[in-house]
Copies of this chain bind each other. A is one copy, B any other.
């Protein structure tokens, strides 16, 4: 198995924070990077041109959803996910593991895999590590993920059992993989338990994936617990491989993750908040439905360079929200994704300039918690 098309160049380090470039068949990803989530092969309410204009470098799509609808075979027949959705840049697909565990009321786990019922029609399906890889090969993303078991973070017995199974499944995913133009990332599990996280980081490292992810965080644990787990795991994960913190998140999470050596993030937060009237800024969140914005001619953020802030007032956004107009979701999504992408661009520059600690402290201190 060659990974010649994937190469991670670390170009600067400042404390534990890293700036790099991850080379993929569909383009270079400057890190740290935030990947907007396009669950069903669409970042909700945005055209692919919007994403280009936002200079999004990578997007994420969900294996579980695309397997159920329209089906990974159909996507493969249409030329793969890039062609199907009209996005020429890098794509990452998750393994479906998280959704199988979080969306399915009825699921049964055994050593071989998971049987679950579709959230769409109740039909029965079964994922194994091998099938997850096969689906992801059909989808054809640049980065694909090992099929893992995401346990509740506070149950030590279940966490260890799930972690051990995740390890065995990681090896099976590696063995099942056939395509050279996809990078398979391993996933570290282990809940909030240092000894489990440490063992998991060592084991996943030993499998020599071209990149490694930290899963099972941002699922209910405290921020301190999350930060401790990241620090502990990143001490073990190889520095010459990209590190991906799955399903995270907020601007603060990005700063705190980069501070602890994370390179890649993804989260539905910017688009989900947008659909619920909420704008993300470098100083906290704003509910654009708020009556105080009814006659406010200012943009969401007066220093923001996004399309929304360059063209529209808070008063107009509030009107669109009150009127139930779809454009509100589009405009606030553009702003929210811009906020996170601009933050990662600024974090990257601060690392290159050797100013990361100052930037991070300043940023976190002016953020309304």
- A325, B40: Cβ atoms closer than 8 Å: yes
- Copy number of this protein in the oligomer? 2
Contact assessment for A316 and B69 in the assembled complex, using a CB-CB cutoff below 8 Å: no
Which residues of chain B have C-beta atoms less than 8 A from A77's C-beta? Answer: 295
A33 shortest CB reach to chain B, Å: 23
Q: How far does the alpha carbon of A192 sit from the alpha carbon of B212 in the complex, in Å?
A: 73
Query: In the complex, what residue of chain B is closest to A297 when comparing beta carbons?
Result: B78
Tell yes or no: A41 within 8 A of B by CB: yes
Contact A44 B325 (CB under 8 A): yes
Contact at B74–A295, with CB atoms within 8 Å?
yes
The answer to whether the Cβ of A294 comes within 8 Å of any Cβ in the partner chain is: yes
Q: Interface size of A by Cβ–Cβ distance < 8 Å?
A: 39
Q: Mark A31-60, 1 if CB is under 8 A from B, else 0.
A: 000000000111011111100000000000
What is the CB-to-nearest-CB distance from A127 to chain B, in angstroms, rounded to a whole number?
A: 20
A316-B41, A316-B85, A319-B41 known; A311+B48 contact, CB < 8 A: yes
Report the bound CA distance from A313 to B49 in whole Å.
15
Chain B CB within 8 A of A251 CB: no
For chain A, residues 304 to 349, give those with C-beta under 8 angstroms from any C-beta of chain B: 307, 311-313, 315-316, 318-320, 322-323, 325-327, 329-331
Decide if A86 is an interface residue (CB 8 Å cutoff): yes
Residues of B within 8 A of A297 (CB): 78-79
Inter-subunit contact A316/B45 (CB<8 Å): no
Which chain B positions have C-beta within 8 A of A74?
294-295, 315
Complex Cα gap A42–B329 (Å): 13
Q: Which of A41, A65, A311, A319 has the most CB of B within 10 A?
A: A319
Within 8 A of B (CB), among A252-284: none
Nearest CB in chain B: distance from A122 CB, A: 17
Residues A69 and B319 in contact, CB atoms below 8 Å apart: yes
The yes or no answer to A70 lying at the interface (CB within 8 A) is: yes
Known: A69-B323, A295-B77, A330-B47. A316 touches B40 (CB 8 A): no
A84 adjacent to chain B (CB < 8 Å): yes
Give A78's nearest chain B residue, CB to CB.
B315
Which of B46, B313, B326, B331 sits near A84, CB closer than 8 Å? B313
Cα of A325 to Cα of B297 in the assembled complex, Å: 31
Closest chain B CB from A304 CB (angstroms):
15
Q: Is the CB of B44 within 8 A of A326?
A: yes
Partner of A40, one of B69, B294, B319: B319
Which listed residue, B48, B70, B295, B316, touches A294 by the CB 8 Å rule? B70
Give Cα distance in the complex from A319 to B45, angstroms: 14
Closest to A324 in B: B40
- A218 CB, nearest partner CB in chain B, Å: 25
Complex contacts, A318 vs chain B, CB 8 Å: 70
With both chains docked as a complex, state the minimum distance between the C-beta of A6 and any C-beta of chain B, in angstroms.
27
A binding-site residues for B, Cβ under 8 Å? 40-42, 44-49, 65, 69-70, 74, 77-79, 84-86, 294-295, 297, 307, 311-313, 315-316, 318-320, 322-323, 325-327, 329-331
Given A41-B319, A77-B295, A84-B313: 18 more A-B contacts, CB < 8 Å:
A41-B316, A42-B325, A44-B327, A65-B323, A69-B322, A70-B315, A70-B318, A70-B319, A74-B294, A78-B297, A78-B313, A78-B315, A84-B319, A85-B316, A86-B311, A326-B326, A326-B330, A330-B330
- 7 tightest Cβ-Cβ pairs between the two chains A and B: A86-B311, A70-B319, A40-B323, A45-B326, A42-B327, A42-B325, A86-B312
